Structure 1
């Protein structure tokens, strides 16, 4: 084993946030790549993959999501120590009402700025896409969070969440690249269908 790889292993053990950053730096661009594949992008066609989009996902996931998630998980472990169901329920509840909305707003706003959109365009995207995304997230992530807080050792929580987020990030990539007017239109149709039922 080389000196470099030994140093990387030591750094990952000493600073768990680095493991999260490394995993998010890989998983987020892969999610963008998968979402683009579902979109119809191909290597050998006129509609080729947008590698800058993948790079933006990697940069954002690694340098923003992983550190903020690590910070949240650290704070949650201090406030509600232990792996009991009660502690996990508190962590999950507070994650759903604090970190999750913060993370979703940050995602749409930050990614819009990385796309060189204006401040007002970024705010408009948050306004149109936050609630539809939050509703889906609130129906999935509490179960994942309970597993994470109850069963996963603290040092492995960020990497566990990053693996779980592969599919979720594909969904975020899909929502991110939906036209904001289409998101509003789909939400209005669903609301109308619910009211008429």
Structure 2
């Protein structure tokens, strides 16, 4: 299976890498929606994410990886660090910008830069806690002909975060963690609110019953 895949990648490197990258990236949006709003999936948003992933991210990543390997060939520490530095200072902000503006454009928003202005900086900072480690492994261990596929596997996780940040987050890791692992305090607070509502309802019902009882025993007018 693995040998057949590697043979296919070597024979059709561009098609295989870009297709896998685009599918994995779009899958990130599906996962986000499945866990946050599975009863009302927005397939148009998944379609827009897939269009951006196939048309830009997959192709850009493929040719970017080829450029870096030709410019800084090999697996030596110096070459790996040069590729990593250039990747995080050039490709990372460009890819993030393309996501926010591209999806907004496909949705027909009047101001396609709104999400970018509000969330780009936080998103880029969060990316620095994830992508340098993933790309270090990519440049140091993964053969060049499957680096885009490896990036796509990482992008599956990253796209889930991006789609959450665009729809209901602010680009910070903290907001994503709160979404993934809601604190017990929040649940206790909601339970307390429900208790107060139930008690208020019971008190209102009791007041009505007392008022009805008083009317029943009120002496008739003569």
Q: What's the TM-score, normalizing by structure 2?
A: 0.70
Q: Which has the larger radius of gyration?
A: 2
Displacement over 2 Å in runs of 4+ = 9-15
Give the drift of 1:22. 1.1
Please say if 1:114 is aligned against 2:111. no
Please say if 1:171 is aligned against 2:173. no
Aligned CA-pair RMSD: 2.5
In 1, Cα distance between the equivalents of 2:10 and 2:64? 19
Question: Does the 8 A contact of 1:60 with 1:111 survive in 2?
Answer: yes
In 2, Cα distance between the equivalents of 1:17 and 1:164? 18
| Aligned mate of 1:105, from 97, 113, 119 | 97
- SS of 1:86's partner is helix
Question: Does the 8 A contact of 1:23 with 1:62 survive in 2?
Answer: no
Question: Does the 8 A contact of 2:9 with 2:146 survive in 1?
Answer: no
In 1, Cα distance between the equivalents of 2:55 and 2:8? 17
In 1, Cα distance between the equivalents of 2:48 and 2:70? 32
| Runs (5+) with no aligned partner, structure 1 | 1-5, 43-47, 188-197
Q: What's the TM-score, normalizing by structure 1?
A: 0.79
2:22 matched residue in structure 1? 25
For this pair of structures, how many residues does the alignment match?
A: 171
Indicate how the Cα distance of structure 1 residues 53 and 154 shifts in structure 2: closer, same or farther if over 3 A, else same: same
Please say if 1:128 is aligned against 2:118. yes
Question: Does the 8 A contact of 2:26 with 2:159 survive in 1?
Answer: no
2:62 matched residue in structure 1? 70
